[in-house]
């Protein structure tokens, strides 16, 4: 059973930065894909960024150039560095991992507001 625990969310002003962390109970180097999704109130959950086992990355158009996904395999942790945050980035951010099954964390709230 894979467990994912997100942390690092909070309240930040527009233009600010946050780094989200996703600690996994298993070896993330074994996962086919690790990703970050987000869900804003009244909206569907959407893919923000993903990283494959061979380190290929993919980003939503809305975050390209501002967000960066990375991982530390020794720490079994995936990160999402978020810069130049805007109010429209406000959402609950979820960590996702695919290894045979699809696993989700419980999410961490990110609020961008002045």
Q: What is the pLDDT of residues 16-73, one digit of tens each?
A: 999 999 999 877 778 889 999 999 999 999 999 999 999 999 999 999 999 999 999 8
Taking only the tens place, the pLDDT of each residue in 77-98 is: 999 999 999 999 999 999 999 9
- Across 9-47, b (16+ Cβ under 10 Å) vs e yields beebeeeeebebbbbbeeebeebeebbbbbeeeeeeeee
Tokens linked to 9? 């969310």
How far, in Å, CA of 103 to CA of 75, rounded? 18
Under 8 Å between Cβ of 99 and 72: no
Nearest to 36 by CA among 86, 13, 70, 10: 70
Residue 40: the pLDDT is: 97
Cβ 113 vs Cβ 11: under 8 Å: yes
């Amino acid at each position: 059973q894979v467990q994912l625990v997100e942390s690092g969310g909070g309240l930040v002003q527009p233009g600010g930065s946050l780094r989200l962390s996703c600690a996994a109970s298993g070896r993330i180097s074994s996962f086919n894909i690790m990703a970050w999704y987000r869900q804003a109130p009244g909206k569907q959950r959407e893919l923000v960024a993903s990283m494959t086992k061979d380190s290929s990355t993919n980003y939503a158009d809305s975050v390209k150039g501002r967000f960066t996904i990375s991982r530390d395999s020794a720490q079994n942790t995936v990160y999402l560095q978020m810069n130049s945050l805007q109010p429209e980035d406000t959402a609950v951010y979820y960590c996702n991992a695919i290894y045979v099954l699809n696993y989700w964390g419980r999410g961490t709230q990110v609020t961008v507001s002045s």
